[in-house]
Amino acid sequence: MTELTHGGQPKATPVEVVLGVCGGIAAYKSCELLRLFTESGHSVRVVPTAAALKFVGAPTWAALSGRPVATEVWDDAHEVPHVRIGRHADLVVVAPATADMLAKAAHGIADDLLTNTLLTATCPVVFAPAMHTEMWENPATQANVALLRSRGFVVIEPAVGRLTGADTGKGRLPDPQSIFEVARHALAGKHDLAGRRVVVTAGGTREPLDPVRFLGNRSSGKQGYALARTAVARGARVTVIAANVTLSDPAGADIVRVGTTEELRKAALEAFSSADVIVMAAAPADFRPAVVAAKKIKKTDSGTPPTIELVTNPDIAAELGAAKRPGQLLVAFAAETHDALANARGKLVRKRADLIVINEVGVDRVFGADSNTVTLLDADGGTTVLGELPKDDVADAIWDAIVMRLDPLVDQGGTA
């Protein structure tokens, strides 16, 4: 199997990527996606629809890809492009994918070169939708998306943000880097979370002392967001509960924003009720002030600081562990400054977790970094030590361990 890479050495055999581009204002963003593919050392054939060429012209696609752009089934007819392009592709990515294209793909309509390519492709296919919120939420579009997913196609959830004009909502094309990551996982054949609903918590909670100050921690949310990105790429429906995270939202995930530990607790309990897995990668504050001052706490003339009484916050992971149903999985994190393994073993039992991720943290260690060094400890006593890896690779290793523990999906007829 060929592999899509970025930032490292490409494989000797380049991946043949077909980049389908539909008519929408987001078509210009696909130029950046094309650059990510080509800089990985792979060959890209751009197949735009007629409407897409109203936004970005064929000369631009040809210059960026280094290859001629076919726009009609009649172009180079002797080569039978409507069959050949799909057959030779290792990966097809349609970005942006309009509501019209999703409908055609779901119902097997082939009225241009791109839709013919989709019908003949036997490789992984990824759709990155972009459209107005009302179009995305329309029952017809949702039915088409469900049908495509049921057939094994990857349909990324659109992002929330600014749309055409002054409109804002769900329907924005995900960030090109995020689409690239989904494509990389699709090509690797990891679609083992399809049909699963997962929840990932990320970031660090903040407990207010007064209207200005808070108790918090150094968690950036990078590992949690990496877990969300890789889960989306592997086919899961992902909800991220983000505590004070300032990173770009992972494409294809639903984001719930929280500030305090209590807000995180409420959101986690609600989301986990319908989920298969929850990964508690966030760093909730263990303590909060017993009283929050209504006004900014001022220095006194004596210079003596005030005494702040703290109370213990609820243990969210333990509460989830006690409430989980058969088949649900709880993954906890143990961020420790010392005695990491011993402390994690105790947490594994107290929280009734199925898997615990251990990492040693501190000043200039892990927080905010792009790599992580973790140990996985499971409820059966197994231990897996991972060397220092990029956080996306750590996330993949965690999902590999989770997938091994998931019960098989059961279809509507009651068979696995």
pLDDT given at position 72:
66
Q: Which residue has the tokens 């989301």?
A: 271
DSSP 75: T
φ, ψ for residue 53, nearest 5 deg: -70, -15
User: What's the average model confidence in pLDDT over 296-317?
Assistant: 89
pLDDT band of residue 348 (cuts 50, 70, 90) is confident
Judge contact between 42 and 4, C-beta under 8 A: yes
Give the predicted TM-score (pTM) of the model: 0.76
pLDDT value of position 368:
60
Over 60: is that where the pLDDT of 9 sits? no
State both tokens at 108.
């097997």
Per-residue confidence at 2, pLDDT binned at 50, 70, 90?
very low
Span 37-64, average pLDDT: 92
- Which residues in 60-72 are b (16+ Cβ under 10 Å) and which e? bbeebbeeebbbe
Tell whether the model's pLDDT for residue 80 goes beyond 50.
no
Question: Which candidate, 175, 172, 158, places its Cα nearest to that of 248?
Answer: 175
Task: Say which residues have a Cβ less than 8 Å from residue 367's Cβ, sequence separation at least 6.
Answer: 218, 219, 220, 361
Q: What is the mean pLDDT of residues 67-77?
A: 69
CA angle 15, 20, 21 (to 5 degrees): 140
What number is the average pLDDT over the span 123-150? 93
Residue 65, SS3?
Answer: helix
d(CA 146, CA 137): 12
Q: What domains sit in the chain, N to C, each tagged with a CATH number?
A: 16-187 (3.40.50.1950), 197-405 (3.40.50.10300)
Task: Supply the residues annotated as catalytic.
Answer: 217
Task: Provide the 3-class DSSP secondary structure of residue 261.
Answer: helix
- Residue 6 has a pLDDT of 45
The residue among 371 and 336 whose pLDDT is bigger is 371
Q: Give the model's confidence band at 321: pLDDT under 50 very low, under 70 low, under 90 confident, else very high.
A: very high
In this predicted model, what pLDDT tens digit does every residue of 188-240 receive, in sequence order?
A: 777 788 889 999 999 999 999 999 999 998 889 999 999 998 898 888 889 99
